[in-house]
Amino acid sequence: MISFLLRRLLQSVLTVLGVLTATFFLVRLSGDPTTLLLPVEATPEDVANFRAAFGLDQSWLVQYVKFLASVLEGDFGTSLRQRTSALGLVLERLPATMELALTAFILGLVLAFLIGLATRMSNSARLRSAVMWIALARQAIPVFWFGLLLILLFSVTLRWLPSLGRGTWAHLVLPAVTLATYEIALYLRLFHSSLAAEERQDYVRTAYAKGQSRSKIIIRHMLPNALLPLITIAGMNLGLLLGGTVVTETVFSWPGVGRLIVQSVSQRDYPVIIAGVFVVCLIFVVINLVVDMLYAWLDPRVRLS
């Protein structure tokens, strides 16, 4: 278990380093921010001063090494626009993103679990395939358009809920539901097929032969096994959810990290983009690490292989 843990930890550190390197060079590939940030009438002297102030006049390699060193100290530089700490700007927005992502995650997981279990217990093939159809259809709807439809119905037409910004719990409802329904669709399909796979196992047939009731077999025997893949996918998906929040935050003007990154991209605010991508990836890597640990603890075959 210890060696598995160490190996997995090393892998995570390498991943984070790779992400940092890729981000840095991609950003430098895209061009020079001086032309965008300085007024048209700036003298060549102004340009040189600006470049020196932000370290843009040195070679890429020097910039890269300096960048890695300062990242280790938690310093991602100063926002080119707002003149405050880039990491600070990102961390300021983080609670909003976490609030949205976690609410949607829990809502999605719990509902998918309940609906999946209920349709399996009912033993009606027609109900099951109807639920799967709805799930499949939901997956074909882009997150941002579903969000817009919710705004159209609940904000514009019925005027029950606010459509923009963050504040009261009412602001949270539409974005969280938008994200959660996508989650439900994904988990339901997965939960459905893993339960179905268990249904065909010998131990289930034996249990039926012993005369146990169907509900008892599902809950006591099949459920623990069917939950394993769900945990993995749910963990991996928390990262995808972070990606999905980027779009959802833009639809609902939710002041989170995703919206900050999108805005910074259009303003070519490099330090904020890097800090934002780094923070999201770090969260993603940590989540995957935790999920793998959880999985190894639940299923000994993983850590022994």
Partner 1 sequence: MSPHITITTGIAFVLLGCVFLLLVVVPLLPTYDPYTQDLASSLLLPFERLDDGRLSVFGTDKLGRDVLSRMALAGWVSLFIGLSAVAVSMVIGTVLGLAAGYFRGWVETAIMALADLQLSIPRVLLLIAVSALLGSTVVKLALLLGLTSWVVYGRVARALALSLREREFVLSAVTQGATPAWNIRKHLLPNVLPQVVIVGSFDLGQIIILEASLSYLGLGVQPPLPSWGLMISEGQSYLELNPWLSVIPGMALFMLVAGVQFLTQSITAEGAEERELAVKPLS
**Binding residues for partner 1 restricted to 150-179, rule: CB under 8 A:** 151-152, 156
Count of residues binding partner 1 (CB under 8 A)? 60
Taken as a whole, the chain contains a residue count of 305
Q: Which residues of 113-141 are buried (b: 16+ CB within 10 A; e: fewer)?
A: bebbbebbeeeeeeebeebbeebeebeee
Query: Element (H or E) spanning 34, and its range?
Result: helix 34-37
- CB-wise, 25 or 48, nearer to partner 1? 25
Query: CB of 49: closest distance to partner 1 in angstroms?
Result: 25
Q: How far apart are CA 268 and CA 18, in angstroms?
A: 22
Taking CB under 8 A as the rule, which mask of x and - marks residues 247-286 in contact with partner 1?
x--xx------x--xx--xx------x---x--xx--xx-
Query: CB of 45: closest distance to partner 1 in angstroms?
Result: 28
Q: Which of helix, strand or coil describes residue 231?
A: helix
Query: CB of 145: closest distance to partner 1 in angstroms?
Result: 4
203 contributes a contact to partner 1 by CB under 8 A? no
Q: How far apart are CA 287 and CA 233, in angstroms?
A: 12
Instruction: Measure CA of the first residue to CA of the last residue in the chain; give whole Å.
Output: 11
- CB-wise, 184 or 204, nearer to partner 1? 204
Closest CA to 247 of 144, 105, 167: 144
230 contributes a contact to partner 1 by CB under 8 A? no
- From the CA atom positions of the chain, what is the Rg in Å? 24
Interface residues with partner 1 (CB under 8 A) are 11, 14-15, 18-19, 22-23, 26-27, 29-30, 123, 125, 128-129, 132-133, 136-137, 139-145, 148-149, 151-152, 156, 193, 196, 199, 204-205, 208-209, 214, 239-240, 242-244, 246-247, 250-251, 258, 261-262, 265-266, 273, 277, 280-281, 284-285, 288
